[in-house]
Chain A
Amino acid sequence: MLENLQRLIQLTIHLIVNKLVPLTHPWGWAFIKALIVVSLIMLAVTFVTLAERKLIGRMQIRHGPMRTGWHGILQPIADGIKLLCKECITPAEADKWVFLMAPIVSIAFAFVPLAVIPFAKTFFITDINIGLLFILAVSSVGFLGNIMAGWSSASKYSFLGSLRALALMISFEVPMVMSMVGVVVFTGSLSMVTIVESQAHWGWFILSQPMAFVIYVLCGIAETQRTPFDMMEDEGSLVCGFFTEYSGMRFALFSLAEYINMFLVAILATVLFLGGWQPPFVSWPLFGFLNAVPSVFWFSAKLLLFMFLYIWLRGTLPRVRYDQLMYLCWKILMPLALLNLMLTALFLASKMNILIFYLLNLLVVVIWLSIYAKTQAWVSANNQ
């Protein structure tokens, strides 16, 4: 009996190691890399929540969590255990299966775009030739989790919250994609690896695409529903938005997905505009020694800087009204993104000096904002 059991275990291990997950086979390698990425991102998310609470605390002249461990360093673990032990309530009128599936859809599609990101010089799970398009497509499926949650909860707050969030997300998706096209014109490729590599030649795209970067950052913050633009979590009018009815682990999955989406926006900003894993000043011979530092360090440094920007904005700015947000998206960012695209194409086709390009950029922004102000003044004068 015992012998048989031992043989069975041996056989299972043999099967798993050699047949199902052959380490030498690309599948097995992809499996291990995926596990590494997922666990690292989970770890990072846990501690970014702590960093957020500490930093926001400091910005409001208080300490933030202090009791659990040294200066509250164990707080995320305590939070995790607390959420695990909490009761999960399914409202009586809810659409049960949709209600259950919503957090899983949210979290699953929050992770998937990470599959095509080059985290370091040689470390990426896979390099597909439509990388950027893949990321956009898959992260849009993540919105489905929100609308599922809002609709199935049978609560007015959830329903309204999800509608608002969805309208906001799809609106800001448009200028965001347009700003990315500006980068793609330079690289001539959608593969994330190629985009990072071509920045050694062109310089970081934040230098040649300043307008696109600003548009991207604004849209990214709106896409992830963070504080200046967090209409779905407008607790004054909507309690908690689309996950009002969720509690315990299901709630934890939603907030995890939200933080992973924040990471994704930060990662995309890093890869598209900030040079990915490349060290700064890479073309200057004086700074050649920076290449000796592992490339994953530069990647994470830029990533964390961007995350700090997120937390900083949350600690500093008040919430924007919904109609103002829609104005910003459709009437300012959207035409600016289109104009930026045309200017970029002109710049590349005519091979003009980059300084002239900057001046043109500045000119376009100033002219557009003054036209906008004029029309707004005209509209409000006519309404009265």
Chain B
Amino acid sequence: MLLSGLSSYIPVLVFMAISGAIGFLMLLIGRLWRPSHPYKEKLSPYECGIEPEGDAWERVIPRYYVYAMLFLAFDVEALFLFPWAIVFDKIGWFAFIEMVLFIIVLLIGLVYAWAKGALDWRY
């Protein structure tokens, strides 16, 4: 039973192999054809013609992490919504009330993040 369910994934594996091979092949063809004359200035990181200053891997503002955490919370919520959506037809009103409660709890989270200013992009 389990294996027969998995057999529909085999074409996906075939497709993955093909699409990975395409990237490799295109780079390989380019490698055989193209010239290569590196020198120091050419290999330095691009900074609009000015000499690059300092390390590229610098500290960045923490705002990005806040968005990453918000994403984590709400994307997991979305995942919980999928199974509910699939069985919604069979359950009816009870499913509706359950989901409204679930969404309201998360909306409170969103309102909290909003009130704390986590959703404002400040520089």
Q: Which A residues are within 8 Å of any B CB, using their own CB?
A: 26-27, 30-31, 33-35, 37-38, 83-93, 100, 103-104, 106-112, 114-116, 125-129, 132-134, 151, 153-160, 163, 166-167, 170-171, 173-174, 177-178, 181, 184-185, 188-190, 239, 244-245, 248-250, 252-253, 322-323, 326-327, 330-331, 334-335, 338, 341-342, 345-346, 348-349
Contact = CB atoms under 8 A, between A and B. Distances in A.
Given A184-B86, A349-B93, A174 B78 contact: yes
Interface in B59-104: 60, 63-64, 67-68, 70-71, 74-75, 78, 81-82, 85-89, 92-93, 95-96, 99-100, 103
B110 A188 contact: no
A170 B71 contact: yes
A89 B44 CA distance: 10
A340 B106 CA distance: 15
Interface string B1-45: 000010111111011101110111011011101111110101111
B81 to A, nearest CB: 5
Contact of B82 (A128, A190, A348): A190
Q: How large is the interface on B (under 10, 10 to 19, 20 to 34, 35 or more residues)?
A: 35 or more
Contact of A93 (B31, B38, B56): B56
Given A30-B15, A249-B31, A349-B95, 7 more contacts: A34-B11, A85-B35, A86-B34, A174-B71, A177-B75, A185-B88, A323-B121
B30 A248 contact: yes
Contacts, number: 226
Contacts of A83: 30
Secondary structure dominating the interface of B: helix
B114 interface: yes
Contacts of A158: 56
10 contacts: A87-B36, A92-B44, A106-B23, A115-B12, A125-B11, A129-B8, A163-B60, A190-B82, A248-B30, A323-B120
Q: A-B pairs with the 5 shortest C-beta distances?
A: A249-B30, A111-B19, A30-B11, A323-B121, A104-B23
A128 B9 contact: yes
Contact of A188 (B57, B60, B88): B88
A185 B12 contact: no
A203 B44 CA distance: 57
Contacts of A348: 88-89
